[in-house]
Structure 1
Amino acid sequence: MKSRHQPVDVPAPSGGVTRRFMLGALAGSLAAPPALAQGGIRIRHDYGEIVLPAPPRRVVSIGYRTQDTLLALGINPVAVRHWFGDQPSSVWPWAQPYLSGPAPIVLSGEVSVESIAILEPDLIVGIGSGISHAEYATLSRVAPVLMHAPNQATFTPWDELVRVIGYALGKDGAAADLIGKTRQQFAGMRARNPGWAGRSAVAAYHFGGETGAFTRSDPRGHFLTELDFVVPASLDRLSDRRGFYARLSPEDLSPLDADLLVWISSEKIPGLADIPMRRFLRAYREGREVVTSPLVGAALSFGSVLSLPFALSALEADIAAAVDGNPATRVASAVQAGIAP
């Protein structure tokens, strides 16, 4: 079973690297509001509905970033889907402390029904997996498959993902606690930096000679809005049919000009210092740029209940230094990356 939705910022599991592969957001979406079923849990979603007679304990995660939510809720997945990077069990450092018991099996490249069936799961989390209706129907013969809600196939905010997966696991209380604690972390950062509210911000990328930005319909753009920044509406108008990123012309990078410009990457950004039109951006001239480390870039790409607190802690000082617009406080990350003016 081959996913039709490719990951971002990393080489494909096999074969060459494509631009679509590198820029795909792989963001899941929220299942419809769950309802109590007689003798179990019923959850409606875009492909149908599932009924769970009891809280599942053997869970396979085929969504590219749903393993974080399962681990945060105390469920060690039987298997997880590899997205990018070379992490043990495809679990990143912010989630590693939550692993318990046997290490999850890593599913990469094409995922066959047989490879999942042999694991005998009682729930398959498919939010953000990109599987088709036909693939869903086949997998449903193995176990209930939790999918996204109608019209929400490209992005699920982290809190909604926690809520619906928590309900499916019979862990409503734990889910509510997780959501509350993480919201408090965002609220604390906003309270410490009230001047951010209403300022413009852009999460940008540069890969393979192409420059662009992530919209608010992507975890990276959504992260900025949760800090009270405003992602320019112009990016939404420029976005492709998937709606989560906008390619820009090399001759016109003006959509990136904002009070805060965050360059996102899960690896070193080659050629960023050599982009000719970048030097004409106010963000460049005034030192309003932040360049994430590969690890922080990966955390923002995951956009999960576990990775976001990690990113918040890592980025607060850099964002504050960039937003003030004072060249004397240019961000250290930009200097280290060799892209500072």
Structure 2
Amino acid sequence: MNKWRKVSVLTLMLGVLLAHACQSRLHAAELIQVTDALGRSVSLPAQPQRIVALGELDLDCLLALGIQPVATTAGRGQLGVAHYLQSQRLPDGQPVSSLPLVGLFSQPSLDKLIQVRPDLILTSSVLDPRVLAQLSQVAPTLFIAKPEEPWKTVFSRLAGWLGREETAQAFLAEYQARAGALQARWADRADRQISIVRWDPKGPGFMQADSFASLVARDAGLSRPVAQQVPGVKHSPPLSLEALSSLDGDWLFMGVLDPKGQQAQTLDQLASQPLFARLKAVQAGHLVLMDGSMWTSNGGPLAALGVQQDLAAALDGAAP
């Protein structure tokens, strides 16, 4: 992997020694055997104490389960923990931003991982078999989610692996209750068609019908424009100005990684374009900039609650 930093001989020796030490502890402890999302058989401690989360989804799920990781990676396109998780607190009361970072998104540092001495590594972003093999030399490594898997499936399965089924069931029950309340509140609204768009400097693209935020909106009883009802979990290619009509809806939720920064200025410029300005949502003042790390990626349970809150704040100015 061209972004994977070269490891010194000393680091490799330390890694091997640590791996042997970890394996000795694992053999002395109770182990369980699971099959991860890539179909790999992994032996992990029945009660892991030092978990590292190598992605936003991994960290999101752990926090929703009330589990405190020992380290994580930076959010997608960011230098710290994902924006939408920074307001969360760890089980020990400290802010999530206080967690040690062991690399950038999908670019963990083996050196830093060794230093935090994990007994379990979770990842939903590292797919390279060689890197996964290196991670597994440090601690048992679980790949928790394929991109096409719904967040509820991922969350429930991880809870089962970690012995937190009851916590997950309670969380999902709360989520469903909130979704039901939103459906009832908005049942008679005429403006329930929303467009979910991912901003890209090359041009905006809509999120497909089975993507994360699309599923949350569907649970809340909201519909999507016909042009955006394309099966899949990704986003469309960047659209030209001539194709912007496919973005139209009663509301236009635009996910950007820096809602208050330079990308917001670019969107202001886009809004001045006649074809964009003619969109129904733009004319109605219903263009809303959202946190792209929460709306347009593979979100988890806390992101799902966040999307619900954002929808409620935009549509009727209230929390669900």
What's the TM-score, normalizing by structure 2?
A: 0.74
Query: What's the counterpart of residue 56 of structure 2?
Result: 64
Deviation at 1:279, TM superposition (A): 2.5
Amino acid at match of 1:105: P
- Whole-angstrom distance in 1 between the partners of 2:300 and 2:190: 23
CA deviations 1:128-182 (Å, max 9, x no partner) are: x133122112211222211146xxx324433223212211211111111111112
Counterpart in the other structure of 1:313: 309
Q: 1:124 to 1:228 in 2, by over 3 A?
A: same
Q: 1:255-266 counterparts in 2 under 5 A?
A: 255-266=246-257
Given residue 256 of structure 1, which amino acid in structure 2 is its aligned partner?
L
19, 27, 42: which is aligned to 2:34? 42
Specify whether residues 98 and 299 from structure 1 end up closer, same or farther in structure 2 by C-alpha distance, changes over 3 A only.
farther
Structure 1 residue runs of 4+, over 6 Å off?
1-4, 88-91
1:247 is the counterpart of 2:247: no
RMSD across aligned positions (CA)? 3.3
Equivalent residue for 1:13? none
Query: Cα distance, 1:292 vs. partner?
Result: 3.1
Deviations 1:211-234 (A, max 9, x none): 221223432333322222233463
Q: How does 1:109-258 map to 2 (within 5 A)?
A: 109=104, 110-127=107-124, 129-148=125-144, 153-195=146-188, 199-232=192-225, 234-235=227-228, 243-258=234-249
1:89/1:104 contact within 8 Å kept: no
SS of 1:131 mapped into structure 2: coil
Find the residue that maps to 2:216 and give its secondary structure. Answer: helix
Closer, same or farther: CA 217–133 of 1 in aligned 2, 3 Å: farther
How many residues were matched structurally? Answer: 279
Aligned residue in 2 for 1:20: none
CA distance in 1, matches of 2:212, 2:92: 24
Identity, % of aligned positions:
23
Q: Distance in 1 between matches of 2:39 and 2:315?
A: 40
Query: Which shows bigger deviation, 44-53 or 93-102?
Result: 93-102
2:88 maps to 95
Q: Residue deviations 1:81-121, cap 9 Å, x none?
A: 10144657977344236454794211233423232133221
Q: How far apart are residue 122 of structure 1 and its match?
A: 1.5
Amino acid at match of 1:166: A
Alignment of 1:278 with 2:271, yes or no, is no
Q: Is the Cα contact below 8 Å between 1:80 and 1:90 reproduced in 2?
A: no
The question of whether the paired residues in 2 share the 8 Å contact of 1:214 and 1:246 is answered with no
Mapped partners of 1:234, 1:292: distance in 2: 21
The question of whether the paired residues in 2 share the 8 Å contact of 1:215 and 1:231 is answered with no
Could you give the per-residue CA deviations for residues 279-308 of structure 1, whole angstroms, max 9, x where no partner exists?
Answer: 2323334x17241355xx544346332233
Give the secondary structure class of the aligned counterpart of 2:158: helix
Compared CA separation, residues 200 and 3, structure 1 to 2 (3 A) = farther
Q: Distance in 2 between matches of 1:121 and 1:215?
A: 36
CA distance in 2 between counterparts of 1:320 and 1:232 reads 20
Q: 2:242·2:275 contact (CA, 8 Å) conserved in 1?
A: yes
Contact kept in structure 2, 1:198 and 1:229, CA below 8 Å: no
Tell me, which stretches of 5 or more residues in structure 1 are unaligned? 5-37, 322-341
TM-score (norm 1): 0.70
Kindly tell me: are residues 314 and 77 of structure 1, through their superposed partners in 2, closer, same or farther at Cα, counting changes over 3 Å?
same
Task: Tell me the distance in 1 between the aligned counterparts of 2:194 and 2:41.
Answer: 38
3-state SS of 2:308 partner: helix
Which residue in the other structure is 1:330 paired with?
Answer: none
Structure 2: 5+ residue stretches without partners: 5-29
* Deviation of the 1:238 alpha carbon: 10
CA drift of 1:196 comes to 5.8
